[in-house]
């Protein structure tokens, strides 16, 4: 039983009543974990916060904090910060690092193992990064430690440059300010994939007691790094530029950039300057790194609200392009002007399609396409990318959701085929093979180059988008995310997926469902004939419904947020640019009908 007497302000009589109440309100497994933390080798502040929650009868909070161990998934950890086994704190971070250290020592016996550690601007990221570095160092591992906050893609780049066996980025990407996370990387600079992901998870799961974690750092095992890696990275991405002549002629392109209080400020402006852009205006209110993200609700470039200050600045100076990156600078959102001079936000599918179309077009014009090049997308990203690649005679691979799968293909094909670009609908893109993760630094530079390329031809990104739709087909996508927090939320999401699995819709948007792809069971089924075949993908909790008219609807619980996501992709045609408004409305109506049928 919990030793409440030593910490509670309650009277003896109240204690007895309170203990009975706890037994009724908290599951035995939760009580056991709470007791373990109160009596274990944890600091006084942590114990005090737990006691405060007990005193305040915060049963839901206690349950969510202790009902399970925070899962170390294939990408690492992500969760709300606070005390508890299901929270991000120095103990869950330390346990993860000890498990990762044990994996590395098992995999590379007798080797002087090197890793790199970096962090973003989130609250406590610097503290968690220091703890990560110290646990690695305590285990005899040499740590390259970024002395200041830096973007996630720079960490991936550094791993490859320094010959590291692993690396960790302390970030929760674009999640709200209450979150933090721990992204773990392998020797190729990408997040772990099979079989190593399972091996790492197994080692982390073996850390069942905080006393198993070695927090006593060996200082000489930690080496600080910084600007020298920045310069090497910036020089190498500048060397990837395909249209320097267009940039030279359009060097005064008006660009508005916001790092949304994150790490992008350290490298994105420098990358734009390296490429040759001389007229970059920063959104001053969002330049300073700040884990409270005071000017936005969510630090997510997918959210229109997060770009409101950027758009205001763009209207003020009549900009050509707006760029905004998330806190760890691996995602980028953009805004462009339409033919009426109004700024519109592009979604991830539109930006990704434009970027890949530009890259293949520019490579083709420079005579660089030899038939040995490829691009990579994901199963929930627009098929417009596939159609563009097919027209250019460039191979397009489609992977499961998550950039680690794109990175895995790049590693597999390294030295055999040439990677041009890749992307996914969630605003993550990569140009060139310098890193193995999405990279908003290189993507921002190439989006600016793409804008200069079309402006140099007397056109615009908006006109290029309409021409792309006319040439390859008018695709439209919509993402609906439903948030379900805590233990009950996780159960609701699981039940929702099971319902779609066991009773899939027969029609969507008035068109019969002709194929059901269940990536968890790795089976594709024809509902009409009842026949099925195996899907050649790793297991993943994703369902896809494909209709007779070519619409694709995907359902997937998020791996990093308490959400279930529904992706809807429909296709029409665009005969001429004047017909865009009408064609756009038809596709909007089609998407709405499908979402109504799904009741989401």
Indicate which residues carry an active-site annotation.
Answer: 173
Helix (H, G, I), strand (E, B) or coil at 346: strand
- Considering only CA atoms, which of 182, 157, 179, 154 is closest in space to residue 169? 182
End-to-end Cα separation, the chain, in angstroms: 44
Contact present, 90 and 81 (Cβ < 8 Å): no
Length of the chain equals 600
Tell me the C-alpha distance between 233 and 267, whole Å: 10
Q: What are phi and psi of 7, to 5 degrees?
A: -130, -15
At 28, list the tokens. 């035995």
At 439, list the tokens. 């990279």
Tell me the C-alpha distance between 73 and 277, whole Å: 40
DSSP annotation of 318: T
Residue carrying structure tokens 């005390």: 83
Please give the distance of CA 240 from its chain centroid, rounded to a whole number: 24
Contact present, 322 and 314 (Cβ < 8 Å): yes
Question: Following DSSP, what letter does each residue of 266-300 receive, concatenated?
Answer: GTHHHHHHHHT---EEE-GGGTS--TT-TT-SS--
Using omega within 30 degrees of 0 as the cis cutoff, is the peptide bond preceding 253 cis? Answer: no
Q: Which residues pair with 253 in a beta bridge?
A: none
Tell me the C-alpha distance between 56 and 517, whole Å: 47
- Considering only CA atoms, which of 210, 268, 258, 211 is closest in space to residue 237? 268
Residues 238, 242, 245, 247, CA torsion sign: negative
Tell me the C-alpha distance between 576 and 579, whole Å: 5
Q: Apex CA 382: angle with CA 258 and CA 243, to 5°? A: 55
Tell me the C-alpha distance between 154 and 396, whole Å: 26
- Considering only CA atoms, which of 304, 284, 286 is closest in space to residue 294? 286
- Considering only CA atoms, which of 444, 454, 401 is closest in space to residue 426? 401
Please give the distance of CA 24 from its chain centroid, rounded to a whole number: 39
Q: Apex CA 583: angle with CA 580 and CA 586, to 5°? A: 150
Tell me the C-alpha distance between 408 and 293, whole Å: 33
- Considering only CA atoms, which of 327, 324, 429 is closest in space to residue 375? 429
Tell me the C-alpha distance between 283 and 313, whole Å: 7
Residues 379, 382, 387, 390, CA torsion sign: negative
Sequence-separated contacts (24+) of 359-365 with Cβ below 8 Å = 359/242, 359/420, 359/421, 359/431, 359/446, 360/388, 360/389, 360/392, 360/394, 360/420, 361/392, 362/242, 362/243, 362/453, 363/242, 363/420, 364/392
């Amino acid at each position: 039983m919990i030793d409440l007497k030593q910490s509670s302000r309650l009277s003896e009589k109240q204690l007895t009543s309170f203990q009975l109440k706890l037994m009724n309100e908290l599951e035995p497994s939760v009580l056991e974990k709470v007791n373990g933390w109160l009596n274990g080798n944890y600091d006084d502040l942590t114990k005090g916060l737990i006691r405060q929650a007990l005193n305040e009868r915060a049963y839901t909070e206690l349950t969510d904090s202790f009902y399970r161990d925070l899962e170390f998934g294939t990408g690492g950890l992500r969760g709300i910060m606070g005390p508890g086994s299901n929270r991000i704190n120095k103990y869950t971070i330390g346990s993860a690092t000890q498990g990762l250290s044990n994996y590395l020592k098992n995999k590379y016996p007798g080797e002087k193992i090197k890793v790199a550690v970096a962090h973003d601007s989130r609250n406590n990221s610097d503290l968690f990064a220091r703890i990560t570095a110290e646990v690695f160092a305590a285990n005899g591992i040499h740590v390259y430690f970024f002395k200041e906050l830096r973007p996630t893609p720079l960490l991936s780049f550094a791993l490859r440059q320094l010959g590291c066996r692993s690396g960790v980025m302390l970030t929760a990407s674009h999640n709200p300010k209450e979150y933090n996370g721990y992204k773990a990387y392998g020797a190729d600079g990408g997040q772990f994939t099979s079989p190593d992901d399972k091996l790492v998870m197994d080692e982390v799961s073996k850390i069942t007691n905080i006393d198993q974690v070695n927090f006593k750092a060996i200082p000489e095992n930690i080496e600080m790094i910084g600007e020298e890696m920045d310069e090497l990275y910036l020089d190498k991405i500048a060397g990837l530029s395909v249209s320097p002549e267009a940039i030279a002629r359009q060097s005064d392109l008006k660009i508005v950039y916001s790092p949304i209080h994150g790490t992008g400020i350290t490298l994105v402006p420098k990358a734009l300057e390296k490429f040759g852009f001389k007229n970059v205006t920063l959104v001053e209110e969002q330049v300073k790194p700040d884990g409270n993200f005071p000017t936005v609700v969510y630090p997510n470039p997918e959210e229109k609200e997060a770009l409101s200050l950027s758009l205001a600045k763009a209207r003020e100076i009549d900009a050509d392009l707006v760029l905004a990156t998330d806190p760890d600078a691996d995602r980028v959102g953009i805004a462009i002007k339409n033919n009426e001079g109004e700024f519109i936000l592009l979604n991830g599918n539109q930006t990704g399609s434009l970027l890949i179309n530009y890259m293949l077009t520019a490579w083709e014009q420079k005579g660089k396409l030899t038939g040995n090049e490829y691009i990579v997308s994901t199963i929930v990203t627009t098929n417009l990318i596939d159609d563009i690649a097919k027209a250019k005679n460039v191979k397009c691979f489609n992977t499961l959701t998550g950039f680690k799968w794109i990175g895995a293909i790049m590693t597999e094909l390294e030295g055999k085929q040439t990677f041009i670009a890749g992307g996914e609908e969630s605003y993550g893109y990569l140009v060139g093979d310098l890193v193995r993760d999405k990279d908003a630094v290189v993507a921002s530079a190439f989006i600016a180059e793409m804008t200069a390329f079309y402006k140099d031809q007397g056109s615009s990104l908006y006109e290029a988008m309409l021409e792309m739709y006319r040439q390859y087909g008018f695709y439209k996508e919509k993402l609906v995310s439903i948030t379900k927090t805590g233990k009950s939320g996780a159960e609701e999401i699981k039940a929702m997926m099971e319902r779609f699995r066991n009773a899939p819709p027969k029609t969507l948007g008035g068109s019969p469902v002709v194929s059901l792809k269940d990536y968890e069971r790795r089976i594709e089924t024809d509902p009409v004939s009842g026949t099925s075949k195996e899907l050649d993908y790793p297991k993943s909790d994703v369902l896809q419904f494909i209709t007779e008219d070519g619409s694709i609807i995907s359902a997937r619980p998020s791996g990093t947020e308490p959400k279930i996501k529904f992706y809807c992709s429909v296709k029409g045609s665009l005969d001429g640019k004047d017909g865009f408004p009408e064609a756009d409305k038809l596709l909007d109506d089609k998407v709405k009908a499908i979402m109504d049928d799904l009741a989401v």
